[in-house]
Chains A and B, each alone.
Chain A
Amino acid sequence: MNQHTRVSLLNLSCREATRLESESLDRQLSSREKWALRFHIWFCRACRRFRSHLRFMQDMVTRMPIPLREALVASKLQLSSSRRTQIKYLLEQASAQEK
């Protein structure tokens, strides 16, 4: 993700700060972004907490029971088996009708 946003150094809003905080988990922030964030966090307790909560949540993901994690990931990558069966059935019906 190589798209640094042009951020205000001294007037970052909390929404923007949380956005940068989130993006810092996925890409390298520019030094301007880093300074803007550092400055904002220095004064803003709510965003400091947000940061620690993000880290907390990441930590929890690594501690997630493995079966739960695998099931959750599979459900996002694959068509469910019930739907798969349903579509196959409908396709069979459609080709039977043609014959």
Chain B
Amino acid sequence: MSTNSASAAEPCANPGEWVDQYGDVLFRYASSRVGDVEHAEDLVQETFLSAFRHRKQFDGRARFGTWLVAILRRKIADYYRAKHKSPELLDDDTADCAVSFSERGKWKVAPTKWQSAPEELAENVEFWGVYQGCLGDLPAHLSQAFHLREMARLAVEELTQKLAITPQNLAVRLHRARILLRECLEKKWFLP
């Protein structure tokens, strides 16, 4: 995943190599803005195809990667226009938490007591199955934030840079992700 500047100014003659060089960067950008991986991948695909069709328009003033991101941004805007939804709505904490809290901010269902020792639970294959299922149920932009923060242990600054979102957006996503994951584990593991 190298995007060194020496080769970045010139688009490579072989478009297949664009995918290796910029695929991951575009994917992270898209999936931090679009709710699920499938759509994010579709947008990345459209971006590459559109870049290929319009490659003559690339004038070398910007870096090639920057040019690709500009195309991707237009694709994302189109995607939301088609859905009649604005991307900003994704990160509204109050609206996002409406499922778990009342209008006045009270718990709809209060957390219960969890009776388990982490050491024992870690040895339990079934638990990890449930855990993975719960992570899979999260909207992609939330699980992405959660994974990169809690599992990859990325620093907040690095993470906001990688996903190109504000610290406020990130805080909202992590809050929501943690709430949803907790609810899911409680429902599927601790209560039954």
Interface residues of A (CB under 8 A from B): 1-3, 13-16, 18-19, 22-23, 25-27, 45-46, 49-50, 52-54, 56-61, 63-65, 68-69, 72-73, 75-80, 83-84, 86-88, 90-92, 94-95
Given contacts A68-B132, A78-B24, A87-B19, contact A73 B49 (CB under 8 A): no
CB-nearest residue of chain A relative to B48?
A: A87
* Inter-chain contacts of B41 with A (CB < 8 A): 79-80, 83
Residue pair B27, A91 in contact (C-beta under 8 Å): no
Q: How many A-B contacts at CB < 8 Å in the complex?
A: 156
Given contacts A23-B171, A65-B128, 20 further A-B contacts (CB under 8 A): A1-B171, A14-B101, A22-B171, A22-B174, A23-B174, A26-B171, A52-B114, A53-B182, A57-B185, A60-B121, A63-B118, A64-B131, A72-B151, A80-B37, A87-B44, A90-B48, A90-B49, A91-B19, A91-B49, A94-B53
30 contacts between A and B (CB under 8 A): A1-B156, A1-B170, A14-B105, A15-B97, A15-B105, A22-B171, A22-B174, A22-B178, A26-B149, A27-B156, A27-B167, A46-B110, A53-B114, A60-B131, A61-B151, A63-B118, A63-B122, A64-B128, A69-B151, A75-B147, A76-B28, A77-B24, A77-B152, A79-B23, A79-B27, A80-B41, A84-B23, A87-B19, A90-B49, A91-B48
Q: Is the interface of A mostly helix, strand, loop or mixed?
A: helix
Which residues of B (174-192) have their CB < 8 Å from a CB of A?
174-175, 178-179, 181-182, 185-186
Contacts of A76 in B (CB 8 A): 28, 31, 143-144, 147-148
Query: Shortest Cβ distance from B92 into chain A, in angstroms?
Result: 12
User: Which residues on B sit within 8 Å (CB–CB) of A84?
Assistant: 19-20, 23
Instruction: With a 10 A CB-CB cut-off, give which of B19, B119, B181 has the most chain A CB atoms.
Output: B19
Distance to closest chain A CB from B67 (angstroms): 16
Is there contact, CB below 8 Å, between B156 and A73?
Answer: no
Q: Does B93 contact A (CB under 8 A)?
A: yes
Chain A residue with the shortest CB-CB distance to B41: A83
Shortest Cβ distance from A56 into chain B, in angstroms?
6
Could you tell me if B16 and A92 are in contact, using CB atoms closer than 8 angstroms? Answer: yes
Evaluate whether A19 and B118 lie within 8 angstroms (CB atoms) in the complex, with A13-B105, A64-B151, A94-B52 already known: no
Contacts of A15 in B (CB 8 A): 93-94, 97, 100-101, 105-106
User: A63 CA to B18 CA in the complex, in Å?
Assistant: 38
Per-residue A-contact encoding for B1-21, CB less than 8 Å = 1, 0 else: 100000000000001101110
Whether a CB of chain A sits under 8 angstroms from the CB of B150 is: yes
Q: Is the CB of B175 within 8 A of A22?
A: yes
Which of A16, A68, A90, A91 has its CB near the most chain B CB atoms (within 10 A)?
Answer: A91
